[in-house]
Amino acid sequence: MYPITYVTDCSDGNARARLSTRIGALFGQAPTIIAADGPDPESFAALTLLDCLRSTESLGEAGHPTITLLNIAPRDGQWPNGVPFCYFRYGRHLVASTLNARALSLVRRELKIKQVYVTDIHEVLEAATAWTDLSTAEVERIADTQFRSLWYLPLLAKWVTEDQPVPSTLDDVPSLGDDDPIVVSVVDNFGNCKFDCRPEDLGFTIGATLPVAGQEVTCYRHLTDVPRGSAGLIPGSSGFDFVELVIRGASAADHFNLHPGDTPLHRSTTPYAV
C-alpha cells in the first residue's frame, strides 16, 4: 500500500467523502485530503506539492514510495473538458496532477521536474479495457464526467503504480517567467506568511531591512532572533529555506493584512548573505 496525499480545490464535505471512498476502494486505504480552498489555490498547491516531495528526503533509510495527487483545474475554455492530467516521478514517489503551470512551477524550478507524461482521458480509458473490466458505457461516462479528479485521476495513479501500459506523451512543464512576482503561498496557523522564494531572490542579508507592504522589516536568521512582538523576515520551514514573514508571538498575516496570492515583496539583485 502507498501513503496517498490528495491536494485539491474540490474539498467540500461531499467531495471529500467521495474522494476518500473511491480511493479507499482502489488502494485499500483512504487518502489524506488537503483543501486548496484559499484565495490563491494554485500557489498554495505549488508550495504544498514541493513540501510533500521534500518531506520524503533525509529519512535515514529508503522509506516507502508515496503517491501525491493534485487537482487544480479551472475550466478556462482552452480544453474540451478541462485541462489534461499528467504524471511524473520524483525518485520512487509518484505525482499525478492536472497540467497546471503555476501548481507545478515550484517542482519545476526547485526539483528540476522539466517534463511530465501528459494523458488523454479517453485514450487511456479505452486502453485500460485491456486490463480492466470497464465497459464501453463506463469509459464514455468517466471521460465525459464533470468530476474528473474523482473518476479518472485515482485510476491513472493506480494504473501507473501497477506499471500498466498507460498511453501518454512526454511534454514540457510550462515555464513561468523568472520575473514573476513573489507571492504569499501559504499563511500557516500561526499567521506566518510563507513566500515562494529563497532568501537570495530578495537580496536577504541578516540585519538588513526590506520593504514589505509599506513597512521596513528586518532580516533575521531564526524566529527566536526576532524580538517578541516585532516583525521579521526569516529563512523558513518550507521549500529550500523559503522566506517567511513573521511576528514573534502574533500573526503577521493579520498585522500586514496579507492573504495567499498577495505580492508584498519584490525581487532584488543585491548579493545574498547570512
pLDDT over 90 (residue 24): yes
Q: 274 CB contacts (<8 Å, ≥6 apart)?
A: 199, 204, 205, 206, 221, 235
Across 122-148, b (16+ Cβ under 10 Å) vs e yields bebbbbbeeeeebeeeebeebbeeeeb
pLDDT of residue 251: 98
Higher confidence at residue 34 or residue 2? 34
CATH topology of domain 184-256: Elongation Factor Tu (Ef-tu); domain 3 (2.40.30)
Kindly state the cell numbers that stand for 55.
Answer: 518531506
pLDDT of residue 266: 84
Q: 145 CB contacts (<8 Å, ≥6 apart)?
A: 151, 152
Helix (H) and strand (E) counts in the chain: 8, 13
Say how far apart CA 58 and CA 10 lie, in whole Å. Answer: 32
Mean pLDDT for the chain overall = 93
What's the mean pLDDT in 171-196?
Answer: 90
Q: Which CATH class is domain 4-172?
A: alpha beta
- Find out whether 73 and 82 touch, Cβ atoms under 8 Å: yes
Calculate what percentage of the chain has a pLDDT beyond 90: 87
pLDDT tens-digit profile of 54-106?
999 999 999 999 999 999 976 555 655 578 999 999 999 999 999 999 999 99
pLDDT over 60 (residue 215): yes
Helix (H, G, I), strand (E, B) or coil at 219: strand
Helix axes 121-128, 153-161, angle to 10 degrees: 50
Half-sphere exposure of 134 (CA within 13 A, CB side): 21
Is the pTM higher than 0.85?
yes
Using the structure block, give the residue that is written with the C-alpha cell 495567499. 260
Helix (H, G, I), strand (E, B) or coil at 63: coil
User: From the centroid of its chain, how far is CA 111?
Assistant: 13
pLDDT of residue 81: 59
pLDDT over 80 (residue 272): no
Say how far apart CA 157 and CA 139 lie, in whole Å. Answer: 17
Using the structure block, give the residue that is written with the C-alpha cell 488523454. 120
pLDDT tens-digit profile of 142-168?
999 989 999 999 999 999 999 999 999
pLDDT tens-digit profile of 34-55?
999 889 999 999 999 999 999 9
Instruction: Report domain extents, the chain.
Output: 4-172, 184-256
pLDDT over 80 (residue 269): no
What's the mean pLDDT in 160-185?
Answer: 90
pLDDT of residue 172: 95
pLDDT of residue 51: 98
Say how far apart CA 193 and CA 243 lie, in whole Å. Answer: 9
pLDDT tens-digit profile of 222-255?
999 999 999 999 999 999 999 999 999 999 999 9
DSSP 81-122: TBPPEEEEEETTEEEEEE--TTTTHHHHHHH---EEEEE-HH
State the pLDDT confidence band at 257, using cuts at 50, 70 and 90. Answer: very high
pLDDT of residue 16: 96
- Find out whether 225 and 232 touch, Cβ atoms under 8 Å: yes
